[in-house]
Amino acid sequence: MRPDLPRAFADVTARLEDAHSLAVEGQRRDNASDMQRVLVGQLRAGLAEIDGRLSAMAAMLDRSSR
């Protein structure tokens, strides 16, 4: 395993925890629809960033296995 890969996993974990917090906040019954819209946008952006990081990690692994 590449030495920077565990750090990448830690970064993904932190971003997943952030996404979890946003999802929990979205469950509040007293959120206005504008707030819900913001939370959805932040979740989508965060998940897209996580997807990009995971793709980069997969590419890193592919390069190291050659």
Whole-model pTM: value is 0.86
Domain boundary assignment for the chain: 5-64
**Amino acid at site 64:** S
The model's confidence at residue 66, banded by pLDDT at 50, 70 and 90, is confident
The model's confidence at residue 65, banded by pLDDT at 50, 70 and 90, is confident
Give residue-wise pLDDT tens across range 4-14: 999 999 999 99
Closest CA to 43 of 7, 15, 4: 15
How many CB atoms lie under 10 A from the CB of residue 31? 14
Cα distance between residue 23 and residue 47, in whole Å: 11
Tell which wins on pLDDT, 9 or 2: 9
DSSP 29: T
How many CB atoms lie under 10 A from the CB of residue 35? 13
DSSP 44: H
